[in-house]
Structure 1
Amino acid sequence: MLGRPGWSRATRSIHTRILLSYIALIVLSGGLCAVAIHEVLLIRLESQVAEAVQQEFLEIDRLIADGRDPRTGTAFSSVPDVFDVYFRRNVPSHEEALLAFVDGQLHHAALSRFPIDRLPDPTLRVFATSARPYAVTDGSPPLGRFDTSRGEAYYGILPVRVGASTGAFVVTVLPVTQRREIADLQTYAASALLGVALLASGCAWLLTGRILGPVRQLTETARLISQSDLTRRIPIARQHEAAEMARTFNAMLDRLEAVFRREREFLLDASHELRGPVTISLGNLGLLRQRLTDDEAGTTIALISDELDRMGRIVGDLHLLADVPHPQFLQPERIDLETFVADLAVKVSALARRQWHVDALPEGVLVADRHRLTEAVVNLADNAVRHTSEADTVAIGAAVRPDRVELWVRDSGCGVALGDQPYIFDRFRRGTGAYLRYPGSGLGLAIVRAVAEAHGGRVELLSRPGSGARFTLVIPRPEGEAHRGADPDR
C-alpha cells in the first residue's frame, strides 16, 4: 500500500507513457506482421499442395492420352488397367496418398508415406461417390479438405474414363512437416519480437530519458523555485527544441526574478520612507502626553500634521504606482495640444517664483489621458523648482512628430549628477544631496516614468551637472492620426 502512490505516479509520467506507447506500437506492428506472414505461408502451402496434386493429375492424364498398356503394347481397355500401370510406376511423395476408385469401390491405395495409416471411412465414401469433373490444365485443381488426427488434409479428385469404364483418381496431402515448420517459424518470430521489443524498449527508455531530460530539469527547477530563491536556471547544452524551451523558461525566470527583486526593493524603500514620519509622529505624540505648554503643544501638533501629510502624499503616490497595471489606469481622450500646453504653463507657474517660459505651443491633437499627463508634467515642473532658484529659468513646451508627441520641462538649475542619471527614475531614489535641500519621497519621477510607459512611451533625460536638465515625455501617436504644426527647434 505504501508503494502504490509512487507506482501510480511513475505510470502517469510522460516518460513511462511514451515508453508504453512505443512498446504497444512495436507489439502491434509485430503482431500484424506475424499474422500477415502466417497467412502468406498458408497460401504458399496451399499453392504447393495444389502443384503436387496437379503434377499427379498430369501424369495420369498423359498415361490415358498415350492409350497403350506398356505391358502388352495394346490399347487400354478399362480404367483398372490404367490404374494398375500408374501405381506400378509411381510412388507417392512425402506426406502424400494416392487412391483409385472403380465403380465406387477402392481399387488401389498408396498410403505408405502418408502421416496416418488409414483414412476416415466418411472421407473414403466421399471420394468414392462425389467425384467432380475436372479438366486437366496448367492451372491449379480445386482442392477439398478433411480433418484427421494430425490436422487438416487436402485432396483433389480426377474422374477417369476409358471406353465404357469409369473411375476416380484421388490425391490427398497431409502437410504435417510444413505446418510444424510454420509453427516453429511463428515461435521463433514471437521470440524475436519479444527480444526486439525488450531491446527497443531499453533504447527507447534511454532515448526518451535523454530527450525529456530538459523537461525533468524544468519540472525540478520549477519545484525548487520559491520567492526567496529565483536564481536556479536550466543548463542549455545544444541547439534544439529542448534548448529553446530551456531558454524560454530561463528568460521567464529572469523576468520573474526582476519583478520580485523590484518588489522587495519597493517594500524595503517604502518601509524606510514611511518609518521616518511614523517615528516622528509617535515620538511627538508621546510628548503630548506630558504636560507641555500651549506653545509647545502647538508646535508639536504642527510637526505631526506635517509628517502625516508627507506620509499621506507617499501613500497616495504608492497607490498611483500600484494602479499603473490596471486596465482602467488611463482614460484616453482627444487633447488639443496648444490649449493643453498653455493650461499647463499657467498651472505650473503657481508652484514657485521662477523665470517661467513656454518654448513651443504646437498645433495638433493627441489621444491620451489628460489628467495623467498633467500629473506627470506637474511632477517634472515641481522637480525643476526644487533644483532651481528664483533667478533660474523653468520652461515647458511640446512638439509634434510624425510618430510621437514630445512634452518637456527644462530648467537652468544644478542639473543631475552623472552617477544619478541611470537611477533617477527609480522609486525612492533621489539625487545626491537632495535630502539636504528639500524634503521628498523620491516617487515623483517614478510616477512620471509610469505615466509615460502606460501610454506606451518613455521619459528621457538630457542633463549636465551645473547646466540644468531637460526631461522629455515621449508619447507615441497612432499611425494616421491627424496632426499639424512642426517643432520650431528642429
Structure 2
Amino acid sequence: MAAIIETNSATEATPRSTRSVRRTASARVRILGWYVSLLAIALVGTFIVQRSYLIDREHASIDGALDQEVGEFTQLASGIDPATGEPFGTDLAALFDTFLTRNVAHPDEAVVTILDGTPYKADILGASLAAAPIVDEWVNVTEPVRGDTASAPGPIRYLAIPMLFGGEVRGVFVVAILKADRLEAVDEAVRIGALVAGSIFLLASGVAWFAAGAILKPLRSLRETAQSITDTDLTRRIPVEGDDEIADLGRTFNSMLDRVEAGFGAQRRFIDDAGHELRTPITIIRGHLELMGDDPEERVETVELVTDELDRMARIVDDLLDLAKAEQTDFVQTSPVNLGDFTRDLAHKAAALGERPWVVEEAADTVIHADRHRLNQAAMNLMRNALEHTPASAATWIGSSTENGTARLWVRDDGPGIPIEEQSRLFDRFARGKVGRRTTGGAGLGLAIVKAIAEAHQGRVTVDSAPGQGTVVTISLPIGPKHAGQEAS
C-alpha cells in the first residue's frame, strides 16, 4: 500500500514539472512566434511594395519607349516622302510604308497600322497581333489611348494614335511592347530578394530563438529556485545581472526570499527556544503533580510551586514573543520622548523592583525619537538584571546624556562585575551569568531583548565591566532627524 501511495505521489509531481517546463517553453515559442510573424509580415509587405515599385518603374520605362516610337513617327510624318520628294500630306499609306521600312524595332516592340478602318501593315511582331480582339478597339479610337491587354505572344502595353485629317480619322498608328521579358526580370529580382531575405529570415529566427532563451534564462532560474525551496533550505538565490525588467524581477524575488527566510528563521528560533525553555518547567510541574499525595499541606505546596512555574512559563513565552516581534518592521513605533523626564520616571518605577534606592546620575533634557514603551522595557530589564546579580548592599545608578547626535541611557552598579570571558555572550539568548546573587530562575532572555530593542532603534548596547569594579550597561540610540538637539521645555 505504501508503495502505491509513493508511486501516485511521483505521478502527481511529474505533470507539475512538465507543466512548468511547458509554460517556459511556450513563453519562448510565443516570443519567437510574435517575432517571426512580425518579421514575416514585414518581409512580405516589403516584397509586395518592392514588386509594385519595380513593375511601375518598368511601365514607366515601357511608356517612355512607346512615346519615343510615336515621337519618331510624328517626326517622319512632318518630313518629306523620300519617294516623291514632297510632304506626305494625306498619303498615310506612303507614311506607314516608309516608317515600317526604316524602323528597326526592338525584339519586344511591335508596330501595327490601320488605314481607313482596316488593318494595313505591321512589322513581324505586329503581324501576330493583327488577329487580336484589341484590334477592333484600335480601329475605333478617336483620341490617343494607352493600355494593357493580352495577346498571342503574351501581355502587351500599347499606345494607339489616331491620324486625323479634316476632323476625320483616316488611320491609326499603334506601337506595342511585350511585357513578359520585362516582368520576368522584375520577378527574377524579387525571387533573388526573397531568397536572400529568406536566408536572413531563417538566420534571424535562429538568433531570436537563442536570444529568447537567454532572455528567459532568469525566469527559468527563478522557476528552478522556487521549485528547489523547502522549509529546510531557503538559502538559494537567483544570480542577477543587468538593470532591465527581468533583473528587477530577480532582485524582487531574492528580496522576497530574504523575507521568507527571515520569517522561517524567526519561527524556527521561536519553536526551538520555546521547546528549550518550557521543557524544564513542564517537567517540574508534571513531576510534582504525579507525586502529589492526599496531604492538604502538601497539596498547597504543590499548587504554589505549579503556579510559580506557570508564571515563569508565561514570562518566558512573553519574552520569546518579544524576540520574535523584534524581527518585524513594526516592532518599534517611534515618537518624541523627553529623555530627562524618561530617566527620572525610570528611577521612580524602579522602586517597585526591590528595597533599594536608585540614584539619577545625570538626566539629559533632550527630546529624542524613540519607542517609549520598548525603551522602558529595555531599561527595566537592565535595572532588574542589576538587582538580581548584585548584593543588597550594592549601589545602583541610572543616567542619560547626549553627544554628537547620539543619546545614551545607562544603568550602573558597584557589584562584583562580570568576568571578561562571559561578556562576549552576555546578550545571547539564554545566557546566564555565574557571578552574583541571582534570586530568580530567569530564562536568560532579558539582555537579548535589550539588544533587540536597541538594534530596532538603529542603535546598540554595550557593557563595561571588570571583576570587582562593577558594571555599566549602556544603550546608545540616534537622537532622531526630527528632534535632534531639541531642548525640552
**TM-score of the pair, normalised by structure 2:** 0.82
Letter in 1 for 2:390: T
Q: Which residue of 2 aligns with 1:216?
A: 220
Matches for 1:51-450 after TM superposition, within 5 Å: 51-65=64-78, 67-77=79-89, 78-112=91-125, 117-121=129-133, 123-132=134-143, 143-148=146-151, 152-160=155-163, 166-235=170-239, 250=254, 253-254=257-258, 256-288=260-292, 290-291=293-294, 293-323=295-325, 334-354=336-356, 356-366=358-368, 368-400=370-402, 403-416=405-418, 421=423, 423-431=425-433, 438-450=440-452
Aligned-residue offset at 1:361: 2.0
Matches for 1:4-83 after TM superposition, within 5 Å: 9-10=22-23, 13-65=26-78, 67-77=79-89, 78-83=91-96
Closer, same or farther in 2 for the Cα pair 1:432/1:219, shift >3 Å? farther
Partners of 2:23 and 2:196 lie apart in 1 by 28
Asked if the contact 1:386/1:438 (under 8 Å) is kept, the reply is yes
Closer, same or farther in 2 for the Cα pair 1:385/1:176, shift >3 Å? same
Structure 1 SS opposite 2:412 = strand
What do the CA deviations read for 1:229-267 (whole angstroms, capped 9, x no partner)?
A: 12334457x767577865675565455435433432331
Asked if the contact 1:448/1:459 (under 8 Å) is kept, the reply is no
* Percent identical: 35
Closer, same or farther in 2 for the Cα pair 1:179/1:95, shift >3 Å? same
Letter in 1 for 2:51: H
Asked if the contact 1:355/1:391 (under 8 Å) is kept, the reply is no
Asked if the contact 1:153/1:175 (under 8 Å) is kept, the reply is yes
Partners of 1:298 and 1:38 lie apart in 2 by 108
What do the CA deviations read for 1:443-487 (whole angstroms, capped 9, x no partner)?
A: 222333344455x332321324424232215153242567227xx
Aligned-residue offset at 1:366: 4.1
Aligned-residue offset at 1:333: 5.6
Number of aligned residues = 469
Q: Which residue of 2 aligns with 1:463?
A: 464
RMSD: 3.6
Partners of 2:97 and 2:111 lie apart in 1 by 12
Partners of 2:74 and 2:31 lie apart in 1 by 64
Asked if the contact 1:365/1:482 (under 8 Å) is kept, the reply is yes
Any gaps of 5 or more consecutive residues in structure 2?
Answer: 1-13
Structure 1 SS opposite 2:161 = strand
Asked if the contact 2:237/2:254 (under 8 Å) is kept, the reply is yes
Partners of 2:229 and 2:351 lie apart in 1 by 52
Q: Which segment drifts farther, 462-471 or 214-223?
A: 462-471
What do the CA deviations read for 1:92-117 (whole angstroms, capped 9, x no partner)?
A: 32332211122333222235278x65
Asked if the contact 1:79/1:167 (under 8 Å) is kept, the reply is yes
Structure 1 SS opposite 2:125 = coil
**TM-score of the pair, normalised by structure 1:** 0.82
Structure 1 SS opposite 2:364 = coil
Closer, same or farther in 2 for the Cα pair 1:320/1:480, shift >3 Å? closer
Partners of 1:20 and 1:369 lie apart in 2 by 58
Any gaps of 5 or more consecutive residues in structure 1?
Answer: 134-141, 486-490
Closer, same or farther in 2 for the Cα pair 1:416/1:86, shift >3 Å? farther
